[in-house]
Amino acid sequence: MFKNFLFNKPLVMWGLISAFFYFVLALIINRFDYLDSAYVITSMALLGLYVVYFLLFQFYQNHSWKRDELQTILFFGAVFILIMVLMVPGEYNDFYHYFFEDIVIVKYQQNPYFVAPLNVPHEPLAVLSGWQFLPAQHGPARFLLTVPAAWLSQGSIVIGIFLYKVIFAVFTALSAWLAYQIARQFDPAKAIFIYLLCAWNPLILFGTFAGGGTDILLVFWLLAAVYLAIKERPVLAIAALGLSVLIKYVTILLVPIFLIYFWRRQSTTGAKLKVAAYQTATLVLMTLGFFAPFWQGAGTLDGVVWVGRFFDVNSFPGLVSIIFYFVSPTLEWYSLKVIFELFFVAIYALTLYRFWRVMEMTASTMVYSSVIILSWFLLLAKFWFYPKYLIWLIPLMFLSKKFFYLPAVFLTGFVIISPYSSVLMPVAMIIPTLVFGFYYFVRRENKFKII
């Protein structure tokens, strides 16, 4: 096995280079407050990871894969995750806010949907948390996965954050493996390539472990739902999707897609009604069960409502609003917000209609429609944008049509702007755009080969 590992010299070389950049990130990422060069070093390391990822895509997209190469990819994927697990998150990292929410349950026996860090100023985690005025804004299923880490930490922030990262590491590795298993059903020849693109994806790894996002938990259950749909397990598939929704609500947009898919897959009206009834009952019971310990009226959703209404320049609608503002300073930004929401609703309805009318109902068509919906949501209806939100989308893009491969690799370049503030994000995006543009121009014109 070790001999085969060394035989894959190009993969080993790319893996070692990437490991070096991840190691640099782990050393520097939490030093922004007192090291002026930290942003520069971080950006250069992320740019290095991005370029390596591009070259991997270019070099291996038409490669004939062997089984031992999967072992090499798996090994370095584990190395990257290990390095990121050992990285110390900086102040105001989202991990601290999630840890605080769990401590509210474990230590204070309070409802995290009504207790913000500002309400417990003597708690050390409250000081480290960002968005200190904001209570829990994600779904209750997330607590099922992370509260055990808060309980096991016994009040230790260091142990708690480490356990959090271990949980996220498990779900990151399993998500990449699920993507591989799904790809084997769709296109076995591309399965190892798709596993490489997911397991070594710098945006997924950096967004999960440095950004502190719960997005990978959402993605795991979404991919599990797709896999179970392929295996024709309608109730289990909708249950997995329900867990995804109850972790972070965005995948509620995909519930109609799954319901339509299984409705169309049944051969008789009786079977259609039976499956639809079981799936609906599953979603209702899960929602009631998970919210029951926390529900104290509509105020339980104040956090998610506030986040949903937040509007800033680091989103596409925000950038468009700035342009309109220079043309007409009296223009109300939130009127444009409503226009963008209406555009998205129209596109969403059209996508559902076209999916309902599709001639051949397949799992790959379901994934394709999911990509379309999430893409338009991020573009038109997400008014506060972080690069880590692309984690929802990128694995599905690789599992969809080959047409989406290159855009998914381009979107991975958003990892470069991850450390920057919301105001600087649009400017910082120039860097990955130029890299991608140069790559695409060279590849299109065939003036010379990159590798």
Q: In whole numbers, what is the pLDDT of the chain averaged over residues? A: 87
128, two tokens: 């480290």
Q: Which two tokens stand for residue 59?
A: 């070099």
Q: What is the pLDDT of residue 212?
A: 74
89: which DSSP letter? P
Domain ranges of the chain: 2-88+137-292+299-445
Q: What is the tens place of the pLDDT at every residue in 397-410?
A: 999 988 899 889 98
What does DSSP assign to residue 130?
S
Name the more confident of 109 and 326. 109
Q: What distance in Å separates the CA atoms of residue 200 and residue 283, rounded to the nearest whole number?
A: 34
- Tokens describing residue 328: 């007409």
Residue 34's pLDDT is 45
Take residue 300 and report the two structure tokens written for it: 């339980």
| H helix or E strand, kind and range, residue 356 | helix 333-357
Rounded CA-CA distance 244/218 in Å is 5
430-438 mean pLDDT: 64
Task: Please determine, for residue 127, whether its predicted confidence score (pLDDT) is greater than 80.
Answer: yes
Confidence of residue 331 (pLDDT cuts 50, 70, 90): low
* pLDDT tens figures, 244-265: 999 999 999 999 999 999 999 9
Exposure string over 101-135, b if 16+ CB within 10 A, otherwise e? bbbbbbbeeebbbbbbbeebeebebbebbebbebb
pLDDT, one tens digit per residue, over 68-91 is: 889 999 999 999 999 999 888 877
pLDDT level of residue 354 (50, 70, 90 thresholds): very high
Q: Which of 173-182, 252-261, 319-328 has the weakest average pLDDT? A: 319-328
Quote the pLDDT of residue 329: 64
The answer, yes or no, to whether residue 444 has pLDDT greater than 60, is: no
pTM of the predicted structure, to 2 decimals: 0.91
Residue 134 has pLDDT above 70, yes or no: yes
Residue 324 has pLDDT above 70, yes or no: yes
Q: In the numeric block, which tokens belong to residue 308? A: 């949903």
DSSP codes of every residue in 359-417: SS--HHHHHHHHHHHHHHIIIII-SS--GGGGGGTHHHHHHS-GGGHHHHHHHHGGGGG
Burial class (CB in 10 A: 0-12, 13-18, 19+), 392: buried
Average pLDDT over residues 312-318: 75
Q: In the predicted model, is pLDDT for residue 312 greater than 80?
A: no
**What is the pLDDT at residue 32?**
53
33 pLDDT above the threshold of 60 = no
Candidates 215, 221, 209; CA nearest to 82 is 209
pLDDT at 192 over 90: yes
pLDDT of residue 447: 43
Contacts of 295 (CB under 8 A, 6+ apart): none
Q: What integer pLDDT is reported at residue 416 of this predicted model?
A: 80
What's the pLDDT score for residue 439?
A: 63
**45 or 3, which is more confident:** 45
Of the listed ranges 87-96, 123-132, 183-192, the least confidently predicted one is 87-96
Res. 242 pLDDT band, cuts 50 70 90: very high
Crossing angle (nearest 10°) for helices 38-60 and 9-28: 160
